Amino acid sequence: MRRIFFILFLTTFFVGFSQQNTLTIDDAVLGYYKGLYPTSLQNLKWVDDSNTYVFQKENELIFTDAKTGKKIKSLSLVQLQVIYPTLKRFPLLQEITPTHFSFRNRNSVEIVNYVTNQKKISINFDEKAQNTEFNSKAEAIAYTLDNNLYIGTASNTKIAVTKIDDENIVSGQAIHRSEFGIVKGTFWSPEGNFLAFYQKDESNVTNYPLVDITTYPASLNNIKYPMAGQESEKAKIGIYNLKNNTTSYLNIDTSDEHYLTNLSWTPDEKYVLVAEINRDQNHVWFNKYNIETGEKVNTLFEETNSKWTEPEYDAVFLPNSNTNFLWLSERDGFMNIYEYTTEGKLVKQLTNFNWVVTGIIGFDVKGKHVFISGTGKDARESHTFKVNLKSGKYDQITKQEGTHSTLINSFGDYFIDSYSSLNIPKNIKIGAIKNGKSTTILEAENPLKEYNLGSTEFLTLKGVDGTDLYAKITKPANFDPTKKYPVLVYVYGGPHAQLVTNSWLGGSSLWMPAFATLENYIVFTLDNRGSAHRGFAFESVIHRNLGDAEIEDQLTGIDYLKSLDYVDESRIAVNGWSYGGFMTTSLMLRNPGVFTTAVAGGPVTDWKYYEVMYGERYMDTPQENPEGYKKAKVHNYISNLDGKMLLIHGSVDPTVVPQHSMTLLQEAVKQKVQVDFFTYPMHPHNVRGMDRVHLVKKMLEYIIENNK
């Protein structure tokens, strides 16, 4: 009897203990599916030309007046099911007007009059369609099937915009490996009368062979992969005229393999504006093409830079203007806004920030102000600003520190502000532009409040060149400064990325604080020179010498760690993926003795195996910069290995192709150096889904095992 009681007591005790909840790696990696990330609001949108916003609550769409804060009405899934009986849950809305909304339903786009609760129209497309882009004015959808481009219309016509058999020619998809801000290959004209599209001719681009091991027997999957210094793709811009059903092409000679980027339409649909960049990526011509003739009308302006030029944003026309547009450029060292005319006249430099503009959100109804996003003075944050189009004077709309994402209504008088910070999981506010008064409509609970986790803190270190470097340090729960902790340095370090942000968890993956507490580790991350949102000088110091400045800055972080009494400086490990894999292997091999252990995922090991667009921007070609390529080539340091190093690669990685790891392994074997390797069969550049748990455990177990 006493024995039974004793066991019961223990059970209770353990239940009690488990309510302090240790966050496991499994749960941390699958956190999104486990409800461990802050909640948000689905279908949060402005209704066009109104002060009404909508969001979804369970299976109901709630309409609220931003002015009064009052609920106007709601629309339930049950009501929608009258029209669409097979609909299982409330759909994700694309556009919403005071009377209609559109959504995608398997193989169609549906437009519904939600006032009368009647289907207005269905636009069907092929079930294998990809790269879909719906346009409500055209009441049509552009999509691709294999390498050709099609349009589906309301009359259920399937228009073949291109009919090209040659599989080297690809239409309607993103080109240039999605560099230069390219995210898609179709561009509806403002009134929906035309569809501009990208086309690339990859005839001269070499194949990279990937192997599909799921077939019987294994089979070849060739991808087109232009490697630095080798022949590249040739781009074209096609124009499909929906009125007369013709496809024409702009007359642009790309035999020099130059880039066609940042495509935009003039509001009158007569011209297309294109930023053309030479293959060397140090010269931009912003050109205007007449779509009628296909001929270039004029070059609006040019930009050159001895390092690189990288336009990333399309031209945005001022409201009600057919001639004046805003253009974002880093030409003064930070991404700022310039006003130009279509004749090429620079009206003015609108902003003159010494911080980075990250986009144009919208305008007010009178066209006097533009709303933009940018870091503001703290590069770790993201804010929304209202800029006077005449004077350039600006107000910060988002007041709270953190990372904000804002939607402005089409009148430009109200905003929806979603934000988080290190201390705020997710807040959503509705506010008035005029006076900034706002109402909080969501204050997400801390989804980790029941878990025993340590703290993440920001710090700023001085780099060797005097630059401020932002870092973060995550400590375990029950941190004891009199103890000595081992460290995991998590690194990315490449361009266009920032790991230290004032957002929930400080921008870290949830496994990092989980790991810190589970294994009594310090997790440390520093954004070195070359990373994003610090301006051109900070970013471009890496030009032609990838690795050098980045390593220098990471070692500043190491020096700091070593200065801490609670850090065991003999137990520092490093881990990173992709560019972070390049950094991880470089840090390990070029600084023997600093790290005991390195785990590099999908690492670039030799920039000559990386692609033309990204690779040559930063490194020029192997022919032009042999010393830089040699210095950055990880293979050249393999014999320095002092400790344990694990390389991991997706077996069908189309981004950093497996050749990077395989040649490094080959060199290690040749040099009699023992390294470790793992491959994730059939995974591309990242290991996602359920298998990601396996990956993270593989990495962390290796670190635990060897960082001793």
> Among 361, 574, 396, 604, which residue's Cα sits nearest to residue 488?
574
Tell the smallest beta-carbon distance from residue 61 to a second copy (Å): 39
Q: Assess 701 for contact with a second copy (CB under 8 A).
A: yes
166-288-271 Cα angle (round to 5): 80
Would you say 527 or 606 has its CB closer to a second copy? Answer: 606
Residues between 651 and 690 with contacts to a second copy, criterion CB under 8 A: 651, 657-659, 662-663, 665-666, 669-670, 672, 674, 676-682, 690
Would you say 297 or 704 has its CB closer to a second copy? Answer: 704
Would you say 154 or 211 has its CB closer to a second copy? Answer: 211
Would you say 571 or 649 has its CB closer to a second copy? Answer: 649
Tell the smallest beta-carbon distance from residue 633 to a second copy (Å): 13
> Among 431, 550, 465, 427, which residue's Cα sits nearest to residue 499?
550
CA distance 557 to 410: 46
Q: Assess 318 for contact with a second copy (CB under 8 A).
A: no
Q: Who's near 323: CB < 8 A, 6+ residues apart?
A: 341, 342, 343
Q: Which of 283, 496, 685, 694 is catalytic?
A: 685
Rg, Å, the chain Cα set: 27
> Among 360, 512, 500, 424, which residue's Cα sits nearest to residue 40?
424
- Other CB atoms within 10 A of residue 516 CB: 27
Q: Would you list the DSSP string of 60-96? A: EEEEEETTT--EEEEEEHHHHHHH-TT--SPPPEEEE
3-state secondary structure of 529: coil
Would you say 76 or 219 has its CB closer to a second copy? Answer: 219
Residues between 612 and 651 with contacts to a second copy, criterion CB under 8 A: 651
- Is residue 616 within a helix (H) or strand (E), and if so which, with residue range? helix 612-619
Tell the smallest beta-carbon distance from residue 35 to a second copy (Å): 21
Q: Could you check whether the bond before residue 38 is cis, i.e. omega within 30 degrees of 0? A: no
CA distance 44 to 54: 5
Residues between 222 and 251 with contacts to a second copy, criterion CB under 8 A: 222, 225, 227, 230
Q: Assess 154 for contact with a second copy (CB under 8 A).
A: no
Q: Would you list the DSSP string of 470-508? A: EEEEE--TT--TTS-EEEEEE----TT--S--SSGGGG-
Q: Which residues of 671-698 are buried (b: 16+ CB within 10 A; e: fewer)?
A: eebebeebbbeebbbbbeeeebbebbeb
Q: Using CB under 8 A, which of 184, 279, 496, 697 touches a second copy?
A: 697
694 as an active site residue: the answer is no
Tell the smallest beta-carbon distance from residue 492 to a second copy (Å): 24
Supply 450's token pair.
């029941």
Would you say 228 or 272 has its CB closer to a second copy? Answer: 228
- Other CB atoms within 10 A of residue 117 CB: 12
> Among 586, 603, 583, 581, which residue's Cα sits nearest to residue 659?
603
433: left (phi over 0), alpha (psi -120 to 50) or beta: alpha
Residues between 452 and 471 with contacts to a second copy, criterion CB under 8 A: none
Tell the smallest beta-carbon distance from residue 697 to a second copy (Å): 7
CA distance 363 to 588: 49
404 as an active site residue: the answer is no
498-532-375 Cα angle (round to 5): 90
Query: How many binding residues for a second copy (CB under 8 A)?
Result: 44
Q: Are strands 644-650 and 597-601 parallel, antiparallel or unpaired?
A: parallel
3-state helix, strand, coil in the chain (%, to 5): 20, 35, 45
Would you say 408 or 665 has its CB closer to a second copy? Answer: 665
Tell the smallest beta-carbon distance from residue 147 to a second copy (Å): 21
- Options 27-35, 370-378, 471-479, 694-702: segment touching a second copy (CB under 8 A): 694-702
Chain centroid, CA 402 distance in Å:
18
Q: Would you list the DSSP string of 296-320? A: EEEEEEEEE-SS-----S--EEPTT
Q: Using CB under 8 A, which of 401, 568, 569, 691 touches a second copy?
A: 691
Tell the smallest beta-carbon distance from residue 696 to a second copy (Å): 11
Q: Who's near 505: CB < 8 A, 6+ residues apart?
A: 422, 456, 512, 513
280 as an active site residue: the answer is no
Would you say 65 or 212 has its CB closer to a second copy? Answer: 212
Tell the smallest beta-carbon distance from residue 607 to a second copy (Å): 12
Would you say 23 or 549 has its CB closer to a second copy? Answer: 23
- Options 108-116, 150-158, 431-439, 697-705: segment touching a second copy (CB under 8 A): 697-705
Q: Which of 136, 189, 329, 578 is catalytic?
A: 578
Would you say 240 or 577 has its CB closer to a second copy? Answer: 577
Tell the smallest beta-carbon distance from residue 634 to a second copy (Å): 15
Tell the smallest beta-carbon distance from residue 445 to a second copy (Å): 30
Tell the smallest beta-carbon distance from residue 605 to a second copy (Å): 11
C-alpha torsion angle, residues 26, 27, 31, 36 (rounded to 10): -170
Tell the smallest beta-carbon distance from residue 686 to a second copy (Å): 14
3-state secondary structure of 22: coil
Tell the smallest beta-carbon distance from residue 699 to a second copy (Å): 11
Would you say 94 or 636 has its CB closer to a second copy? Answer: 636
Q: Who's near 111: CB < 8 A, 6+ residues apart?
A: 100, 101, 102, 119, 120, 121, 122, 123, 136, 139
Q: Who's near 286: CB < 8 A, 6+ residues apart?
A: 273, 274, 275, 276, 299, 300, 301, 302, 303, 311, 315, 327
Residue pair 667/638 in contact (Cβ under 8 Å)? The answer is yes
Q: Which of 653, 660, 661, 683 is catalytic?
A: 653
Residues between 196 and 225 with contacts to a second copy, criterion CB under 8 A: 206-209, 211, 213-214, 216-220, 222, 225
Would you say 119 or 685 has its CB closer to a second copy? Answer: 685
Would you say 548 or 606 has its CB closer to a second copy? Answer: 606
> Among 676, 667, 657, 678, which residue's Cα sits nearest to residue 633?
667
CA distance 204 to 522: 49
Residues with catalytic roles: 578, 653, 685
Binding site for a second copy (CB under 8 A): 206-209, 211, 213-214, 216-220, 222, 225, 227, 230, 608-609, 651, 657-659, 662-663, 665-666, 669-670, 672, 674, 676-682, 690-691, 693-694, 697-698, 701
